[in-house]
Amino acid sequence: MARNRFDVDEDLESPFDLAHFRRAMVYIRKQKKPMILAFTLSALSAAIGLSAPLILQHVVDVTIPEKAHGALIGWSALTLVTIVVSVILATIRSRIMTRVGQDIIFEIRSDLFRHLQDLPFKYYDDRPQGKILIRVVNYVNSVSDVLSNGIINFILEIVNLIFIAAFMFAVNVKLSLIILAGLPVFLAVMLLIKTRQRRAWQAVSNKSSNLNAYLQESISGIRVTQIFTREEHNEGIFTRLAASFRTVWMRALRYNLLIPFTVDNLSTLVTAAIFLVGLLALGPAEVSFGVILAMSSYAARFWQPILNLSNLYNSFINAVAYLERIFETLDEPVTVTDVPDAKALPPVRGDVAFDNVTFAYDPGLNILENLSFNVKAGESVALVGPTGAGKTTVVNLISRFYNVTEGAIRIDGHDISLVTLRSLRSQMGIMLQDSFIFSGTILDNIRYGKLDATEEEVVAAAKAVCADEFIREFEHGYLTEVNERGSKLSQGQRQLISFARTLLADPRILILDEATSSIDARTERLVQQGLNELLKGRTSFIIAHRLSTVKNCDRIMYVSDKGIAESGSHDELLAKRGLYHRLYTAQKMEA
């Protein structure tokens, strides 16, 4: 459960290995054709650019001494052409790779979102929303360039190094060996910091995730924060998290900056060595000044790909930390899913049976044990009892939001673990305790579970739950825009809109979890009238703490001690003078 805290780092469940990178290659292979074209353009641009030092050598050693002014103009024009062509090819390549990078982002993000929608409730119970959001948005953005431009540039820089080395050795072997002398030093530095650098960027990933999680939590709970004047205290928490992020970021950045620092200094030393050796040791008899200029140019060009490769390595190290998180999310098992040979649940009458059902959210801590009961089609059942006894768990199991630990649940004789989730839930109307309202119009929210519903059907559902009156009081009526979570609506209005959304689906099995908890007594009586018509012919499970709302149910089941402690009609349970009688009497006295 520690992973559900914003101030606790997430340990990776599995270390990064080449298998992760091979999985990333799946997205790259889909962009194979444009990437090959981009690589070809890059190679041509690089090859054309490498001709410039040779032109310079010829101009210094031949054209200028011969005072061939016409030839000098021609060589200058040719140099200009090579620059222009190189820039044009690089620009086309950049546009291609920008599209490739965005396509890769789209593919990864779509796979993540699709997988997140399939994950069970337990996954979201155990994690702050901010730590989930950062993987879908920030981390995917961070890896896209490495998986597109990074691959192309890595291959291209290797090819560049080969081309440059070939040109260098063609001009002068001894000076070429001087340029290569700095490579062992560079490789030693890379090997020295490799492991520390990866750990540093994993720490950045952790602290970024923590900061994002607390920010999301703070925004969601801003009303509570202001009610209890927690602003100063929360600012202190945020400052500590931000400071931790800044500390690990600066540490990781120091490793990143060490590599270009090393390359820049090696390049400078090698260039100086070329001039010293060429002018003092070898002399004009062995190397001309034009050769020295050409080799110094090639030295800068030789170390530039190495610097680029080191920057790519830095980017890869950074991306590894993000790829680990992305693939960890994609590897999260979908525990509530269709079995391989799942069949579609045919249209149901509504018989529901629990057969020795045991369930635990965490191993060894059973919420329900050996629970058995039968509900006939069209019967209305109320679940009452103390908080935490398992009432909501019962209805969540019927909807198969969780899998039972032991036993079976059957609808019309069909084991719900063997039917498709879509065919099961499409025949249920479920209104959970949290009345979530999506951004959009009121019409869109009511139509959310039945997209093909007509406006007349939407209005009819709203009237049935007494929502039509207050909706029409808004300036734009059913087309009134509401914010996410319905911040412009009262809690009771949000609940009524959610109720209408559930009723519109015309379910065979209806589940209402505290459906009237935020509705005043007058409105509740009106809603009850609509419910009485709705419940006819439908199997319904109703959870309510206010017992006055469930008195007319066919059966009331008192959930306690991991099972059903009492069951019967309202009058039968009162006559028993047991747990239900005690609860009902206490509520009457409070009223």
Give the global pTM: 0.64
Query: Is the confidence at residue 557, as pLDDT, over 70?
Result: yes
**How does strand 428-431 pair with strand 481-482?**
unpaired
Query: Is the confidence at residue 445, as pLDDT, over 70?
Result: yes
Rg of the Cα trace of the chain? 35
Mean pLDDT, rounded, for 101-124: 85
Q: Could you report the per-residue pLDDT of 367-398, keeping only the tens digit for each?
A: 999 999 999 999 999 999 888 888 989 999 99
pLDDT at 13: 46
pLDDT at 1: 32
C-alpha–C-alpha distance, residues 495 and 515, integer Å: 7
Angle at 75 between CA 73 and CA 76, to 5 degrees: 60
pLDDT at 14: 45
Burial 4-17 (b: 16+ CB within 10 A, else e): eebeebbeeeeeee
C-alpha–C-alpha distance, residues 560 and 544, integer Å: 15
Stronger pLDDT, 461 or 430, i.e. the higher one: 461
**What's the pLDDT band for 443 if we cut at 50, 70, 90?**
very high
How do the residues of the chain divide into helix, strand and coil, expressed in percent and rounded to 5?
65, 10, 25
Angle at which helix 289-330 crosses helix 231-276, to 10 degrees, equals 150
Query: Is the confidence at residue 422, as pLDDT, over 70?
Result: yes
pLDDT at 524: 63
The full set of domain ranges for the chain reads 2-330
Query: Is the confidence at residue 232, as pLDDT, over 80?
Result: yes
Query: Is the confidence at residue 435, as pLDDT, over 50?
Result: yes
Burial 435-462 (b: 16+ CB within 10 A, else e): bebeeebbbbbbbbbbeebeeeebbebb
What string of H, E and C letters represents the secondary structure of 524-555? HHHHHHHHHHHHCCCEEEEECCCHHHCCCCCE
| CB atoms inside a 10 Å sphere around CB 158 | 12
Query: Is the confidence at residue 59, as pLDDT, over 80?
Result: no
Q: Could you report the per-residue pLDDT of 488-499, keeping only the tens digit for each?
A: 787 778 878 888
CATH 3.40.190.10 fits 2-330, yes or no: no
Place of tokens 């004789």: 413
pLDDT at 509: 92
**What's the pLDDT band for 533 if we cut at 50, 70, 90?**
low
Query: Is the confidence at residue 5, as pLDDT, over 70?
Result: no
| CB atoms inside a 10 Å sphere around CB 261 | 12
